[in-house]
Amino acid sequence: MKNWKNITLLVFAVLLLIILFQNLDPVRFRLLFWKVPVSPVVLFLSMLLTGFAAGRLTRRKRG
């Protein structure tokens, strides 16, 4: 069962990398009053790290 989990995760990671590297043109990111051109790869990684940090800060202890 664990092997299928790893294979599925690897497939999703490869698909995500393909999609990200096909979209390398900068996008305009608006934050309050600023408009900043940012690569989608940088934007995705910053969102991923922010979500990971929020999950770690709000996690509950089991049992």
- DSSP codes, the chain: -HHHHHHHHHHHHHHHHHHHHH--S-EEEEETTEEEEE-HHHHHHHHHHHHHHHHHHT-----
For the chain, the domain total comes to 1
pLDDT for 63 equals 60
Print the domain residue range for 55. Answer: 25-63
Per the domain annotation, does 9 fall within a domain?
no
Q: What is the pLDDT of residues 2-48, one digit of tens each?
A: 788 889 889 988 998 888 788 778 889 888 888 989 888 888 888 88
Residue 1 has pLDDT above 70, yes or no: no
Residue 53 has pLDDT above 90, yes or no: yes
Residue 56 has pLDDT above 70, yes or no: yes
Per the domain annotation, does 58 fall within a domain?
yes
